[in-house]
Amino acid sequence: MTRPEYVEKYKDIAIKEMLQNGIPASITLAQGLLESDAGNSALAMYANNHFGIKCHKDWTGEKYIQDDDAKDECFRKYKEAEESFDDHSEFLKTRGRYAFLFELRKTDYKGWAEGLKEAGYATDKNYPDKLIKLIDDYKLFQYDRMQEIAVDKPKKKTEPQIIKPTTSAISASRKLFLNNRIKYVVVQDGDSYYKIAHDLDMRLWQLHNYNETGKQTCLQVGDIVYLQPKRRHSQKEEMHTARFGETMYYISQLYGIKMRHLHKMNNMTDGQEPSAGQKIFLKKGEKK
């Protein structure tokens, strides 16, 4: 299994764990990628253990023995991979030394990466850097902003009007998420704007308009496609530090802010792109 295939296979589980337990999905996925070699390690294949969690005294389940720091060490064995993800969350939540991590924001994946090393999750001094690189390389941070909502959740009067998804088997299989109070879906393998519009019984021009696709017409797995107009500013986040290669369109999609308002808040001209390390303001009233 390749790393992108691993992310695609387990991202929904990581998001579920984040919503239930508060651990950033990016951290869960990055640890899974690193600890299990993208699901290809013997521990992952034969014991469904994706996080290298050892038995410890309180473990009463099945065991898997293999050499690690010492010979014949005991690791937890699970019936299926999802149990490993559940136990990973439980492990972090119930060990007191990790308690300070839950005071961090779910979007602070760098703080979580550094904190895991500080709390003793791994002995590798480069552990935080390895996690952060995986998160940046595969854009895992996008999953930290997801908030799942029910397809049939009643709309408030203040919500922008959209065409409600049909109850067909295709549209029912798509999960809706919420970012900056805007409903969206995550691009799956084989998706196009036309296919998404068809599945959700929407018009193609709506998706192009809501996502300002004059700046981007191709979709990649993991991209965000909004089902409502983006907003003038962020409701929560105040600032974003641009990374190398990021565009204003990418930041616009990441935070659900219309391009023209994002440029205006940052005194930038239409078409101007940020430089690496530049602070991009996301709320009205912010000053450089």
**Confidence (pLDDT) at 24:** 95
Confirm whether 286 is domain-assigned.
Answer: no
Pair (140, 255) in one structural domain: no
Pair (154, 214) in one structural domain: yes
Is residue 154 predicted with pLDDT exceeding 50? no
Lookup result for tokens 């296979």: 9
Mean pLDDT estimate for the chain: 85
Pair (194, 130) in one structural domain: no
CATH number at residue 265: 3.10.350
CATH number at residue 187: 3.10.350.10
Confirm whether 288 is domain-assigned.
Answer: no
Q: Give the 3-state secondary structure percentages of the chain, helix then strand then coil, rounded to 5.
A: 40, 10, 50
Is residue 151 predicted with pLDDT exceeding 90? no
Question: Structural domain tally of the chain?
Answer: 3
Structure tokens at 10: 């387990």
- Identify whether the C-beta of residue 8 lies closer than 8 Å to the C-beta of residue 189: yes
For residue 17, the enclosing domain spans: 3-145
Pair (210, 132) in one structural domain: no
pLDDT digits (tens, 9 = 90+) for 199-249: 898 988 899 999 998 656 778 878 889 999 999 999 888 899 888 888 999
The burial class, CB within 10 Å (0-12 / 13-18 / 19+), for 265 is buried
Share of the chain above pLDDT 70, in %: 88
CA–CA separation, 33 vs 270, rounded Å? 39
Half-sphere exposure at residue 242, Cβ-oriented, CA atoms within 13 angstroms:
20
Pair (187, 70) in one structural domain: no
Pair (141, 8) in one structural domain: yes
**Confidence (pLDDT) at 164:** 42
**Confidence (pLDDT) at 49:** 96
**Confidence (pLDDT) at 147:** 66
Is residue 149 predicted with pLDDT exceeding 50? no
